[in-house]
Amino acid sequence: MPVDVAPMRTENLCRWWPADLKLGLALLAILVVGLLSPEQWPAAAAVGVLLLMGHALAGTSLTWICHRSAVWLSTLVLLGAAMWWSIPTAAAGLWLWSFFVRCAVAVLAGLWLMQVLSAQELLVTLRRWHVPGLLIVMVSFLLRYLVVLWEEHERLWRAQQSRGAGSATSWQLWHLALERVGMLLLRSLDRSERIHRAMLARGWDGSPRGLE
């Protein structure tokens, strides 16, 4: 799986906090910085410092935070280019700086939540928040079969490479990638058929149930 998750440390102190508290804190931080005006950017930065302390409690490495934060740089580059085109003024500079701080704090909050909330906790919290059962079942299917599908994708890619995909031109590589996704789709549809039959054999009647 190419998902860039920092290695979980045993000294992750936030791991044992209630899931509602973790979700609530992350949302509160994002909401507070969203409501601040551009002139109040130091307050947003203070929330960012609190989140960095949260990351320290969770045992996240600074390198990983910097690496993940670089993902949203494209948005800032786009906005910066748009502002450069529009003849920037001092007010525009302040607006862009506060925008940068706000986004950085929101990214820190999202990354902190990613480090401290597990998939199982998410499912339990969604059920507790009375999210429709069908949606929770779909989320659990996604989480369960994502890894399986990715392993399937790796197998298909290895098979294509053994048949000479390594020396293919870029056009052929595009074609091979489409074939891989198409094959993955067919296999996942077959798998969903098998799961459906297994669910029917265990008494599935279309209504969601959880292991209480």
Partner 1 sequence: MHIRDGILSPEVCAVAGVVSAAAIGYSLRQLSRQRDSHAVPLTGMVAALVFAGQMVNFPLFGLPVSGHLLGGVLAAALVGPWAGCLAISVVLIVQAVLFADGGLMSLGVNILNMAVIGCWGGGAMYESLRRLVGTNLRGSLVAVIVAAYLSVLAAAACFCGEFVASAHDIPFPVQPLTWFMVLYHALIGIGEAAITGGVLAFVWSRRPQLLAASETSVPSWRPLTAAGVAVACVIAAVLSPWASEWPDGLEAVGDRVGFNDLGQDRVLLLSDYALPVPSGWEAVSVSAAGVLGTLVVLCVGWLLISRVTPSPVPVPDASHAG
Site for partner 1, residues 106 to 125, rule: CB under 8 A: 106-107, 109-111, 113-114, 117, 119, 122
Under rule CB under 8 A, residue 64 binds partner 1: no
List 31, 49, 56, 159, residue binding partner 1 (CB under 8 A):
31
Contacting partner 1 within 137-176 (CB under 8 A): 137-146, 148-150, 153, 174-175
Contacting partner 1 within 2-21 (CB under 8 A): 2-3, 5
CA distance 192 to 194: 5
Residues 13 and 58 sit within 8 Å (Cβ to Cβ): yes
Q: Residue 153: which H helix or E strand, with range?
A: helix 133-162
CA distance 149 to 51: 34
Tell me phi and psi for residue 152, to 5 degrees.
-60, -45
User: Which amino acid is present at 100?
Assistant: F
Instruction: Identify which range of 9-17, 24-32, 54-62, 159-167 contacts partner 1 by CB under 8 A.
Output: 24-32
Contacting partner 1 within 175-194 (CB under 8 A): 175, 177-179, 181-186, 188-189, 191-193
CA distance 47 to 49: 5
List 10, 63, 74, 162, residue binding partner 1 (CB under 8 A):
74
User: Rounded to the nearest whole angstrom, what is the least distance from the CB of residue 197 to partner 1 in the complex?
Assistant: 9
